[in-house]
Amino acid sequence: MPELPPAIPAATLILYDESEPGPPLHLMIERSAAMAFMPGALVFPGGRIEPGDREIAAAGLAANAPDDAADAAARVAAIRETLEEVGIAVGIRPVPDAETILAWRAALKEKAEFSKLLGTSYSLDLAALLPFAHWLPKVPAPRRFETRFYLAKRESDEVAVHDEDEAAHHVWLSAAQALEDGEQGRHTLMFPTMANLARLAAHPSFGLVQQHLAQTPIQVVSPRMHEEDGMRVLRIPEGLGYPVTSLVLRGAGG
């Protein structure tokens, strides 16, 4: 196997909207076709963990921080990226109003420091995010991300507005609907997204997924490439809480 490039730390937030009857809805964005990584893919909000996220986690601006510094920084990044990408504030105390969110998003787009925006008037409650998964692919690729996935309830009724430079559009979907859309070719789903959607669909409420996580300790999930019957197959180990553990790749991009 070729030497793998260093993994880029990243964080993703899976939002739950349970305001209506039926399975919960999750906010997803379709990445812009102009993006260098995963163009056109349907994903949850998220992105790279920046140095400023680590500084916030270590500087007392974040309450209820876990002992694991990497976990704490990832939660900060998930909050920041969700705010910047779709305008939804999670875990920010007090909850900023719409005008403040708009101003913060514009400032973050210009590379403003998140800590400076929070100032002394706002803080982060990292307990608002529930750890869900930790993926570190063992697959050769130009970019390899070590991604921590978190769950959070939608805290207010602010309307999601996607960043048009990064996303073509956004949509609230149930996990089952997102999977069906992927199967029917209406959306492109990468393996980690597809596998996590299948796991969410198997436990279709925030309470049920909490029960599942209490019985399924988080372990690092490392997809590996296999050649099977002339086909390339991505696989993850059994026993990690995933009902879907493989994906047959079609074409160069999978």
Per-residue model confidence as pLDDT tens digits over 155-212: 877 666 655 455 457 889 999 999 999 999 888 899 999 999 999 999 999 999 999 9
Tell me which of 4-8, 64-68, 134-138, 189-193 is least confident: 4-8
Tell me which of 22-36, 120-134, 184-198 is least confident: 22-36
pLDDT greater than 80 at residue 8: yes
Residue predicted with more confidence, 228 or 221: 221
User: What three-state secondary structure class fits 45?
Assistant: coil
C-alpha span between 211 and 205 (Å, rounded): 10
Which stretch, 12-16, 32-36, 55-59, has highest mean pLDDT? 12-16
C-alpha span between 154 and 108 (Å, rounded): 21
Helix H or strand E encompassing 57: helix 51-58
Using a pLDDT cut of 70, give the percent of the chain over it: 89
Helix H or strand E encompassing 207: helix 206-215
- pTM, two decimals, is 0.92
Is 138:7 a contact under the CB 8 Å cutoff?
A: no
Among 91, 104, 96, smallest CA distance to 61 is for 91
pLDDT of residue 253: 36
pLDDT of residue 143: 83
pLDDT greater than 80 at residue 248: yes
pLDDT of residue 165: 54
The CATH fold assigned to 8-217 is: Nucleoside Triphosphate Pyrophosphohydrolase (3.90.79)
C-alpha span between 189 and 88 (Å, rounded): 23
Is 53:59 a contact under the CB 8 Å cutoff?
A: no
For the chain, domain boundaries: 8-217
167-192 exposure pattern, b = at least 16 Cβ within 10 A, e = fewer: bbebbbbbbebbbebbeeeebbbbbb
State the distance between the two ends of the chain, measured CA to CA, in whole angstroms: 19
Average pLDDT over residues 8-32: 92
C-alpha span between 46 and 70 (Å, rounded): 16
pLDDT greater than 80 at residue 91: yes
For residue 244, count CB atoms less than 10 angstroms from its CB and return exposed for 0-12, middle for 13-18, buried for 19 or more. middle
* 83 pLDDT tier (thresholds 50, 70, 90): very high
Is 29:65 a contact under the CB 8 Å cutoff?
A: no
Average pLDDT over residues 13-26: 95
